[in-house]
Amino acid sequence: MRALRHARAAALLAVVALGACAGDDGGADGVVGAPLTGCLVPVAPVLTRVQTGAELHFASPDGSPVSLALDAIPGGGAPAAWAEGDVVTLEHPGRRRVVARLESDCEPAATFDATYDVAPAFAPAAGEGGSDAVPAANGRVRGWATGIADVTFGDGVDERWRDASAALGEADGAMGVVSLGEGGVITLTFARPFGDGPGDDLAVFENSFSDDFLELAWVEVSSDGTHFERFDSAYLGEEPLGPYDTQPAEQIAGLAGKYRQRFGTPFDLADLRFRAAVRDGTLDLARVTHVRIVDVVGDGSARDSFGRPIWDPFPTRDSAGFDLDAVAVLASRP
């Protein structure tokens, strides 16, 4: 669907958060339960895959110097050496573990610890080798959104596309969608809370009729319906797009709308594990109750988690913005 969009700045860079403490269950696939407390740590964007040459900028919450360890031994072993600095460049393809800490007197020691799949591009279109697209009929789908907590439509949406209930239940891949409009927002609820387990935990479905006409949205989650955390995103496109222009899925990560209809974009709650809201219990990753979808205005005013502009077809009209088909809850991988 096509959308008429107004300029809107929606930049969201990496946030400062509390980090994994000694003894925490802070692994990428670990279930996060009770609130975690401890020393502050620096935080950078967390995605399963980042592009070759990506720069991770770490923010220090209290002004303390940051120390980094790159290519630490996979599997959680302590880094053999640290180097002072707040930026690390992931120059070489492959799996790269990055560990960061603040040089402070706080005890017990705490670290940011994430492993990235570094590659020239992101996952390709649905059906291609290496794609992480989730089919609507996938056996891991164990539930769908059942309620609408709130919706605010942006401009450019005709009345026929404003039925928010179209986003409930299974993805049908047809015309039964709700169009958010430019910068529009919708918040969905579920019959039962869901939590972080091994692998991806939810998938968001748009209704694009092709692999490369892609309208995008941010995804946020909450365990109280009030405080939301947004997944990090990365976007590699460099040129503005017209209303009928296309783009490859390989240049998009962490944004819903990456795949054609009946194929959802997956999200892993574990990617939020270093956020302050998770550390202090404001967001309980074991009991997520709300998912919020926020349309990305595609004129380049929106920014990914690395500060780069995000483009999608612009300007468009009638059924403007992200066209939400459904949101699925995924069972953990065995």
Residues 108 and 205 in one domain: no
CA distance 258 to 290: 21
Of 119, 146, 173, which residue constitutes the final position of a domain? 119
Which CATH number belongs to the domain containing residue 34 in this structure?
Answer: 2.60.40
Residue 9 lies in a domain: no
Number of domains observed in the structure of the chain: 2
Q: What is the pLDDT of residue 23?
A: 30
Q: Can you say whether residue 228 is alpha, beta or left, with left for phi > 0 and alpha for psi between -120 and 50 degrees?
A: beta
pLDDT band at 332 (very low <50, low <70, confident <90, very high): confident
Residue 75 has pLDDT above 80, yes or no: no
Task: In whole angstroms, give the CA distance from residue 330 to residue 159.
Answer: 32
Q: Is the pLDDT of residue 132 over 80?
A: yes
- Taking alpha carbons only, the member of 319, 291, 296, 314 closest to residue 184 is 296
Query: Hey, what are 129's tokens?
Result: 């080798």
324 and 190 share a domain?
A: yes
Tell me how far apart the alpha carbons of residues 102 and 62 are, in angstroms, rounded to a whole number. Answer: 9
pLDDT at 37: 53
Express each pLDDT in 221-240 by its tens digit: 999 999 999 999 999 999 99
Q: Check: CB of residue 310 under 8 Å from CB of residue 255.
A: yes
Residue 75 lies in a domain: yes
- Asked if residue 276 belongs to a domain, the reply is yes
Are 36 and 288 in contact by the 8 Å Cβ rule? The answer is no
User: Stretch 307-315: mean pLDDT, rounded?
Assistant: 95
Residues 170 and 38 in one domain: no
Length of the chain: 334
- Claim: this prediction has a pTM higher than 0.85: yes
Let me know whether 174 and 308 are in one domain: yes
Residues 82 and 201 reside in one and the same domain: no
Residue 62 lies in a domain: yes
Residue 248 located in a structural domain? yes
Do 85 and 41 have their domain in common?
A: yes
Phi-psi region of 258 (alpha: psi -120 to 50; beta: other; left: phi over 0): alpha
Q: Is 51 inside any structural domain?
A: yes
Q: Do 275 and 202 fall into the same domain? A: yes
**Is the predicted pLDDT of residue 5 greater than 60, yes or no?**
no
| 119 backbone dihedrals φ, ψ, rounded to 5° | -150, 160
Model confidence at 74: pLDDT above 80: no
Q: Is the pLDDT of residue 27 over 50?
A: no
Q: 105 and 141 share a domain? A: no
User: Could you give the percent of the chain with pLDDT greater than 70?
Assistant: 88
Q: What's the domain range around 240?
A: 134-330
CA 227/CA 269 separation, integer angstroms: 15
User: In terms of domains, do 145 and 286 share one?
Assistant: yes
The answer on 287 and 189 residing in a single domain is yes
Is 15 among the domain residues? no
Q: How confident is the model at residue 116 (pLDDT cuts 50, 70, 90)?
A: very high
What pLDDT band is residue 313 in, cutting at 50, 70 and 90? very high
Q: Which of 9-13, 189-193, 289-293 has the lowest mean pLDDT?
A: 9-13
- Whether pLDDT at 12 is above 50: no
What does pLDDT average to over the chain? 87
- Look at residues 46, 201, 205, 157 and name the one whose alpha carbon lies nearest to residue 112: 46
Pick from 119, 142, 161: which residue ends a domain?
119
Same domain for 94 and 240? no
Residue 1 lies in a domain: no
Judgement on whether residues 114 and 34 belong to the same structural domain of the protein: yes
